[in-house]
Structure 1
Amino acid sequence: MKYKNILQIDDDYDDCNFFLEALEEVSAAAYTAIHNPVHALQKLINNEIRPDLIFLDINMPFMNGMEVLTEIKKREVIKNIPIIIFSTSIPLDIKTKIRDLGAIDFYTKPNDFKVLKNLLKNLT
C-alpha cells in the first residue's frame, strides 16, 4: 500500500517531528500533524483535510485516541480512512478493542530512528 497523504493525530510535538523526519527519508507522502484531537476530528468531519491514512495516538488530552477512533468510524464521510494506532503504550486490554473499533493495526512508538524508518517504509 502506498499512501499519498498521511495525518498524524498526536499531542506530542517531539514525537511528530521524529515521525516526520523518518517519513521524509522513506516516503514522498504529504504529512500533516494535528496536536489537538478535537481540532483534528473537526477538520476531518468538515472535509478540511482528506488523509488516506491516519496515525492516531491513544493518550491525549481533551479526547483520547479511542474516542477519536470511535467518532471517526461513526461518520459516513470519513469512516473508511484507514487508522493505525501509534502510541507510546498500548495496554493489552485495549488491543482487541482497537481492532473491534475499526483500526487496521497498532504499533508502539519506537525510540530508535532506524526502527521507525523501517516501520514507515513497510507501511507507506
Structure 2
Amino acid sequence: MASPRQCLFIDDDVDDQEFFCDAANSIDPDLECMFASNGIDALEKLKDEAFLPDFIFIDMNMPKMNGKETLEEIRKIERLNAVSVYIYSTAAAPRTTQEMLALGATDFLIKPSSVQGLQELLGKILK
C-alpha cells in the first residue's frame, strides 16, 4: 500500500494552518498535513532526509524569514527539486507573482476568504 501523501504548510497563523488542513483533508482524507510556523522552522524540518513532502505551501508574509526567502532556500535543496512549491498570499502584484515563479514557485495562489473557495483551489492541486 502506498504511503499517504504529505503536505508541508508554512504559515505563522495557527488558524490558517487548521483552515488549510481541514480543506485539504476534505479533498484527500489521507493527506498528511505537516506545519511550520516560519521559514526557519520549515528548513529545519526539510533538513531531515527522510522527510520529502509531495507539496509545500508557503505564506508570503511571515516573521523571521518571509515567503520569498523561504522559497529561495528550499530551491537550493536538490532533493526537493521535484516537489511542487506554492506561494500563498492574501494579495499579489503581478510583478511579485512573476518574481516567485522565476524563483521556482510552481504557482502563486491568492488565499480564498471561504472554506469552499479554499477547497476548490486545493482540489485543482491535490487531485
Q: TM-score, normalised by structure 2?
A: 0.88
Specify the alignment match of 2:12 in structure 1.
Answer: 11
Report the Cα offset of residue 37 of structure 1.
Answer: 1.5
What is the rounded CA distance, in whole Å, between the counterparts of 2:86 and 2:120 in structure 1? 16
Segments of 5+ residues of structure 2 without an aligned counterpart are none
What is the rounded CA distance, in whole Å, between the counterparts of 1:18 and 1:63 in structure 2? 22
Specify the alignment match of 1:85 in structure 2.
Answer: 87
What is the rounded CA distance, in whole Å, between the counterparts of 2:118 and 2:56 in structure 1? 16
Contact 1:56/1:86 (<8 A) preserved: yes
Segments of 5+ residues of structure 1 without an aligned counterpart are none
Q: 1:99 aligns with which of 91, 101, 126?
A: 101
Aligned length: 122
Specify the alignment match of 1:36 in structure 2.
Answer: 38
Q: How does 1:18-57 map to 2 (within 5 A)?
A: 18-27=19-28, 28-47=30-49, 49-57=51-59
The percentage of counterpart residues that share the same residue type is: 37
What is the rounded CA distance, in whole Å, between the counterparts of 1:25 and 1:77 in structure 2? 29
Report the Cα offset of residue 48 of structure 1.
Answer: 5.4
1:35-78 Cα distance to aligned partner (Å, 9 max, x none):
12101112212325320110111100000010011111112222
What is the rounded CA distance, in whole Å, between the counterparts of 2:48 and 2:62 in structure 1? 21
Specify the alignment match of 1:121 in structure 2.
Answer: 123
Comparing 98-107 with 69-78, greater Cα deviation is found at: 69-78
What is the rounded CA distance, in whole Å, between the counterparts of 2:23 and 2:62 in structure 1? 22
Report the Cα offset of residue 91 of structure 1.
Answer: 2.7
Q: What amino acid is the match of 1:64?
A: N
